[in-house]
Amino acid sequence: MSFTIDQRDQDQIVGLQYEETEDGRRWYGLRIWDRPSIPIADMVDDFTRVRAMPDGPDKTAAWKALSEKYPSPERLFAGKLPDGSVVVGLRDSRGKMRIRLSIGSDDRPQIELMDEKGNTVWSASGPAAECSTGTP
């Protein structure tokens, strides 16, 4: 299930999404994407041509070329994952994860900074949060 907002003459740029698998695993959250300034109608012929190609290395290469020609990276995800953790993930202009804030299903908070290849260059984590009432 999803509620999305499209960029004018383009695909979705903001989405509230929920997905559940047959085995009951689910994720949900807010997503934000960057889309090209090219109207989606101008891209349809390219995508139709590649979809019609037989599966194999040529089709894989054609999809990669289209993703470079019409980049549409996800830039932000904030939500709950199937493992029970909650996360805010920020990606760079190429869609590579660069900052990840999370609280695991064990209530342990973590912050990670990644380089352009996705390698963690800095991280910090704390003890599991204690449940409390009242003001901090």
pLDDT surpassing 50 at residue 134: no
How crowded is the C-beta side of 10, counted as CA atoms within 13 Å?
16
pLDDT of residue 6: 83
pLDDT surpassing 60 at residue 86: yes
CA dist., res. 105 & res. 90, Å (int): 20
pLDDT surpassing 50 at residue 136: no
In the predicted model, what is the mean pLDDT of residues 78-93? 97
pLDDT of residue 12: 86
In the predicted model, what is the mean pLDDT of residues 39-63? 92
Q: Which helix (H) or strand (E) holds 60?
A: helix 57-69
At 130, is the pLDDT very low, low, confident or very high (cuts 50, 70, 90)? low
pLDDT surpassing 60 at residue 129: no
pLDDT of residue 36: 87
In the predicted model, what is the mean pLDDT of residues 21-27? 93
